[in-house]
Amino acid sequence: MKLNLFVAAAAALLLASCAPKNQANEIASGGADTAIFGGDDVNVNDVVATTTVGLYNTKAGYLCTGSLYGKNMVITAAHCLEGDAKNLQVRFGVDMRKPALVRQVIAGQRNTRYTGKIQANMGDVSVLKYEGTIPPGYTTAPILTDYSVLSKGSKIVAAGYGISAPSRGKGEGILRKITLKVKDPTYSATEIAVDQSMINGVCSGDSGGPAFVKGNDGRLYLWGVTSNGAGLPVLRPCMFFAVFTRVDTYLPWINETAGKL
């Protein structure tokens, strides 16, 4: 992980590692005074809502975010798959407290490169298979294949069910989105860094969630998976930058793994 001296003294973190360990009926039980943080609640008819899902671990009590893929798959972060994949639920809808639908995860696989150590090219991506098929009203986002459209300063859209008040660890469970700017498009061969210094961005619970870019046709293209970031513990968690895993670099592995699950 590339850090300058100031950031190196701060806490680099996997964005789900400190996600609140609440029970299902306690998710987002108040404290949401801003969005994702600094973003907006997602409308149920928004394309972001129809392609993004919440992930809840019924045993460990943590939450993550994921992107629908294929007829019964979810792309998320590797660090969101802790222990048995069958402990995870896929929750559809904009509020994880009152999901429109819940599907059980029946299988999952982390990328073999992932070790849990925060570093460049860490392989922080996994594939989950859930029971049944993609529900009516939901769809998959097209995958970005031309990464030349992502340069320093490019605007991207990130989404997730994470906390909205980082300093207090509150507000998780509601789907929110935020427009951010690319900080370093060549952070690593498989990752892009996004600026969060304007006190807005992704944080705990947003891990595994999607990063989109708008194409010339006006559609949102999925290009990233929320991985990790850096900030000052307690005072300014998550508020320096965030790192996203590029989907295209792992697409062959994603397709191969999906075919085996």
Do the domains 5-15+142-248 and 49-140+250-260 sit in the same CATH topology, yes or no? yes
CA separation for the pair 203, 184 (Å, rounded): 19
CA separation for the pair 35, 50 (Å, rounded): 19
Report the amino acid identity of residue 238.
C
DSSP assignment string, 92-160: ESSBTTS-SEEEEEEEEEE-TT--S---TT----EEEEESS-PPTT---PPBP--GGG--TT-EEEEEE
CA separation for the pair 165, 203 (Å, rounded): 9
Tens digits of per-residue pLDDT, 168-204?
445 578 999 999 999 999 999 999 999 988 777 787 7
Domain residue spans in the chain? 5-15+142-248, 49-140+250-260
Regions of the chain where pLDDT drops below 50? 1-12, 16-35, 166-169, 231-237
CA separation for the pair 216, 203 (Å, rounded): 29
User: What is the CATH code for 49-140+250-260?
Assistant: 2.40.10.10
> What pTM was computed for the model?
0.86
Q: Which fold has domain 5-15+142-248?
A: Thrombin, subunit H (2.40.10)
Tens digits of per-residue pLDDT, 95-129?
999 999 999 999 999 999 999 988 899 999 999 99
What local confidence, expressed as pLDDT, does residue 201 receive?
79
